[in-house]
Amino acid sequence: MKTTPDPAALAARLAPAAFVLIWSTGFVVARLVAPHADPLTFLCLRYLGTVAVLSTVAWLARARWPSGWRGWRDALVSGILLQGVYLDGVFWAVSRGLPAGIAALVTSLQPLLTALVAGPVLGERVSGRRWLGIGVGFVGAGLVLAPKLGAGADAIPPAALGVCFCATVAITLGTLWQKRTAAAVDLRTNAAVQFLGAGLMTLPLALLLEQGRFDASLPAFLGLAWAVLGLSVGGILILLWLIRRGAVAGVAALFYLVPPVSAAMAFGLFGETLSTVQVVGMGVAALGVAIASRG
């Protein structure tokens, strides 16, 4: 006799893979739009579009918005850290000469940082198995990125490297803040307020540092559409759901799969070759995530 699959259980199984696939397209989008738009200007348009979409969805669903100053504050702080500082920092660092491979390697430190502070901040015990998985995942991500590090390693801009590391710290703190403050909020309205906070932070920087370049070409609009609907709406909602549902150290370990999957996408879309070391690294990273996320 056939049993009907539990939708909640099915979503729990599919969500991590969906998140990794969606999040990994961020590098593809960045490469696609780089010749067509200034990075912070592009992000401002992305934040504005995301707020519009999520607010419309929330209005149609009659979703509950944050109540009181504390609810709005918590969502704005999450957005400034998870979206604003993180995305602005990475985009700015890469635009200032930090090689994309090194940027990805720096941001892959997030699971280690999360595991280090999850205990003191959340009282969350990180098991030995999860530490093992985090370590194995880091090794795998390093193997994937290693062939890309040599060319630009001699000329790494110190300021760009520092900003990229600060962005990694920001998304780590944002993950912890979200876990601590958003246990019962509506994820749609919470995400809308988050992107509002990211936009309010980014707009003055874009006006101060950039010329507002966006050439309205097809690649620019395609990149913006996917950045809003796929990355910001789809990816962030899945991430917030995973953070609410699971241990933050285990969720953070998923970020180790982003560099391997991004490398595979670059191979398929742009013809970037994958070495034997990178293929092995993909397997090692997947093994680390499997160990860290088990149970």
* Domain boundaries, given as residue ranges, for the chain: 17-293
What confidence score (pLDDT) does residue 224 get?
Answer: 94
pLDDT at 119 over 80: no
Nearest to 50 by CA among 195, 186, 185: 195
The residue among 71 and 138 whose pLDDT is bigger is 71
- Helices 110-122 and 128-149, axial angle in degrees (round to 10): 150
pLDDT tens digit string along 244-258?
776 566 676 777 777
The residue among 289 and 38 whose pLDDT is bigger is 38
Distance, in Å, from the CA atom of 131 to the CA atom of 112, rounded to the nearest integer, reads 8
Letter string b/e over residues 245-263, b meaning 16 or more CB atoms within 10 A of that residue's CB = ebbbbbbbbbbbbbbbbbb
pLDDT tens digit string along 256-275?
777 777 777 777 776 666 67
What confidence score (pLDDT) does residue 50 get?
Answer: 94
The token duo for 90 is 């990475």
* 8 Å CB contact between 63 and 189: yes
Q: How far is CA 133 from CA 78, 102, 238, 264, in A?
A: 27, 22, 22, 22
* 8 Å CB contact between 174 and 239: no
What confidence score (pLDDT) does residue 143 get?
Answer: 79
What confidence score (pLDDT) does residue 4 get?
Answer: 57
pTM, two decimals, is 0.77
The residue among 2 and 276 whose pLDDT is bigger is 276
The residue among 19 and 99 whose pLDDT is bigger is 19
